[in-house]
Structure 1
């Protein structure tokens, strides 16, 4: 399931980084913190991959 917005894609990337141990989990905020706690590494990979081109910054 690809991300629907750039913000969602960035949050998934940050959560994935923390899940892999590249970034401390204490640095996560908001959606990325929730994603890291509730999603598997595979789910985060699917959400973070792909091009951000043509996606809106945020979904209202």
Structure 2
């Protein structure tokens, strides 16, 4: 699953770093804290590797 915004891509990168043990899970905030528990390392890797060019900074939730 590709990231839909720059913020989502950055959060996935932070969660991936924590999943690999490079950063502390306690240092995570917001979406990245939820991502580290809910997603596998391969899912996080795929989302974090999404290119940022052309992506919006944030995407609002669709209801």
TM-score normalised to the size of structure 2?
Answer: 0.92
Deviates more, 1:45-54 or 1:5-14: 45-54
Match of 1:53 in 2: 53
SS in 1 for 2:4: coil
Unaligned runs of 5+ in 1: none
- 1:1-16 → structure 2 map (5 Å cutoff): 1-16=1-16
Runs of 4+ in 1 over 2 A off after TM superposition: none
- 1:19-58 → structure 2 map (5 Å cutoff): 19-58=19-58
In the aligned structure 1, how far is the partner of 2:50 from the partner of 2:13? 11
SS in 2 for 1:4: coil
TM-score normalised to the size of structure 1?
Answer: 0.96
Higher helix share: 1
Unaligned runs of 5+ in 2: none
What RMSD in Å do the two structures reach over aligned CA positions? 0.6
